[in-house]
Structure 1
């Protein structure tokens, strides 16, 4: 790896900045001075490596014969969101608690079960391939019988999942003993449902976000360490942009499986595992209706497009109509993700002038493969959707909304993380100055 310490000499060879996504593998060739010199993309292949090699070779060819061999800097989001199963005692509360702890934490609910687990239910849970199971037990002081039954079933079940145990303190030790006796890794958490009708998601959301952060981002190239997580690369690019802009910056990265919001601070990133424009496309409409961003009529109109995108895998729009639907879903995903992000940080709905001053945001950038579409009017409409959203009006009152049409945020972050800060600044300066 290049020496990333401040003051170290920057490399003189070009770099191929590689982003391995769940659908597409993208490669950008960047000259040492920060000038982009080539772009290539390839569907992410089942073995990952062949798609990487094809994208890298195509991008590197732009350097021409005789050029120095480029350094390959990689990031990956191919691991997708954390897959979370939820097991509780009452259906509606279990579902709602699961979705709330996933918001802004990089997770997606893939299975919900209420009541005592039987053999078929445990098998169905295993088929959902969760990375973690959230085990709930109902309000404080309730009968722990169902909780302890479910803890025993999960302890004996087949699957590598971690258990997040978010139950009444009075029953926690007994459930913990059952799970650990079965060899389970358990993270004890405060009760998510301490009182009937009340959901306290914050502490468990933090635990879910920690599990997502420790999830392996995707396969490495042979003989190399695991790549940087794409979320971390874009966050680093947002930080470079914020330092150069001299104002508050938000970067919204709409991907195939997640939509991430970065605030120019590595500790202020949120990841929405239920929002994306491929596998999570239908989640965009669910989230948008919950937030009131789209009405039922538009949701019905966009429903077939979302369903088609969810099953499409790596693909490009067949015509202008499909491209417009994809952009609309991406813009809506950005709005929902921004609302959640600002709410999570306590910056949504502030009315006091001092609060507005402290949380002032001067620039919002939308990035992601969908925004590479060469349709100026369509991209302007996507930006306007964000800029004029009524719930975001106060927080974004001073903000300009720009589109990262060349997908340079992740490459800039990779450059900065590998000792190429000047090149990263220049790459962003030309596209976001003024």
Structure 2
């Protein structure tokens, strides 16, 4: 095994810094390790500890590997505020662009920014602002008003401008005069009902690499890695697309969903058209993206464990846990939340962890999928669909630390499935269920940037059907 045939894949996660070493010639995962992420002090401390934990001297030799690729969700990940004109149109398009780039959307603002809203944004301290508004040739006043408001504020976050192209240069000039870093890209909604989010996603990722990573103290790590390629959720999405679509030489699995249960959030990625499945269904709302991501900041197993309990309530969580007697759920949840690196040690902690994971999967998928509503028209009885119909997808994949350790992966993941008692919720009906037992999907998203065929083979080999 020559070092010149190895790739080091790194995730600076919110809890752990994780490493995966891949032999590109043999198409094998040769080693993995992890250490607590040290973003609050020096990110390289956790990285160096993870390198030391690699076997067979691989950590010492890692600097000679031809490929060292990294993603990051540490220090809060990429935190974005989206601003648009109309909630259901340009603001929604901006939100989708940010989510698709791997960001966590802190808040969405519409119409004219008020002084109170501007202060809210200052308090949120976003890493980036996505400013949209107006179709091309449409309203100019709102985006200009909002640009002036941002320019006169104390907000230091860079701004991606993705609105009405007729005033894009003027908006850029206003922001630059206010001392803001600006990146102008194509309109997220050039025409009414037409979504164009790819250029904005690309601009967000470029700014992430140029400014955000350095601002979060990653400059020392960059000296070793080269550069942070993307936020971790974007790497998982890249892996999901590769697994679904395959390569030019090899077919993928087809339409699928990935549920990523983490310590701070639960993310859902769907790679599917999601169009209505019969002629009595009318689609409403903006066109849904083929590759869609949603993120639930209140559904995490460590950092957000208390929020999860508050969201679902003791009764629902108790039903999923199934512990006899009357356990002190608040104390058990707080115990897990206080120690973000904790692996459950007692049967009670395992039951709580797995119960929280099942609730997180179920609720996050409920929020991700589309739903039907009955309507009666003069021409007959119809259903209106909002969001994606995912009833027919063929695969649901669970990833995240919980699936690495639990023996109840199928039970947890089955919470994503269609519920006959709520038939208007368009969850998957009969997919095959898989778990990412080795927790490598994020790494395969990175590897897909340079060796998509190898990444696809490794995912097919290591996913475990349950």
Short-chain TM bin = 0.5 to 0.7
1:101 maps to which residue? 95
* C-alpha contact 1:408 1:428 (8 A) present in aligned 2: no
Give the CA deviation at 1:112. 7.8
CA 1:225–1:295 in structure 2 vs 1: closer, same or farther (change >3 Å)? same
Conservation of the 8 A alpha-carbon contact between 2:71 and 2:229: yes
Residue 321 of structure 1: aligned partner: 348
**Selected match of 1:261 from 269, 293, 297:** 269
Q: Which runs of 5+ in 2 are unaligned?
A: 274-288, 320-328, 372-384
C-alpha distance in 1 between matches for 2:63 and 2:177: 57
2:431 aligned partner:
399
1:298 corresponds to which of 295, 313, 316: 316
Mapping for residues 80-229 of structure 1, pairs under 5 Å: 80-85=76-81, 101=95, 104-105=99-100, 106-110=102-106, 118=115, 125-133=121-129, 151-163=147-159, 179=175, 181-184=177-180, 185=182, 209=201, 212-214=204-206, 215-216=208-209, 218=213, 219=218, 220-229=221-230
Q: Provide closer, same or farther for how the CA distance between residues 263 and 306 of structure 1 changes in structure 2, counting only shifts above 3 A.
A: farther
Please give the root-mean-square deviation of Cα atoms over the aligned residues, in Å.
Answer: 5.5
Against the structure 1 CA distance between its residues 75 and 156, is the aligned structure 2 distance closer, same or farther, given a 3 Å change threshold?
Answer: same
CA gap of 1:212–1:385, structure 2 versus 1, over 3 A, is farther
CA distance in 1, matches of 2:8, 2:164: 51
Q: Which residue of 1 aligns with 2:73?
A: 78
| CA deviation after TM superposition for structure 1 residue 43, in Å | 0.6
* Cα separation, 1, equivalents of 2:59 and 2:174: 63
Unaligned runs of 5+ in 1: 1-9, 193-199, 351-355
Q: What CA deviation, in whole Å up to 9, does each residue of 1:42-91 have, x standing for no partner?
A: 0111322221122123124377999997666332223555423467999x
- Aligned positions, number: 395
Name 2:294's counterpart in structure 1: 272
Greater CA drift, 182-191 or 324-333: 182-191
* Aligned equivalents of 1:202, 1:368: Cα separation in 2: 34
**Maintained 8 Å contact 1:261/1:271:** yes
Please report how far the alpha carbon of residue 164 of structure 1 lies from its aligned counterpart in structure 2 after TM superposition: 6.8
The question of whether the paired residues in 1 share the 8 Å contact of 2:162 and 2:200 is answered with no
Between 1 and 2, higher relative CO (CA 8 Å, sep ≥ 6) is seen in 1
Q: Per-residue deviation at 1:365?
A: 1.3
Does 1:348 find its partner at 2:394? no
TM-score, structure 1 as length reference = 0.65
Contact preservation (8 Å) 1:412, 1:427? yes
- 2:402 paired residue among 347, 352, 370: 370
The equivalent position to 1:50 in structure 2, one of 29, 32, 45, is 45
User: 1:101 & 1:66 partners in 2: Cα distance?
Assistant: 42
| Partner Cα separation in structure 2 for residue 420 and residue 339 of structure 1 | 31
Matched, 1:26 2:18: yes
Describe the superposition over 1:140-197 as per-residue Cα deviations: whole angstroms up to 9, x where unpaired. Answer: x99x8x99876544212223324577999999999877545424437699899xxxxx
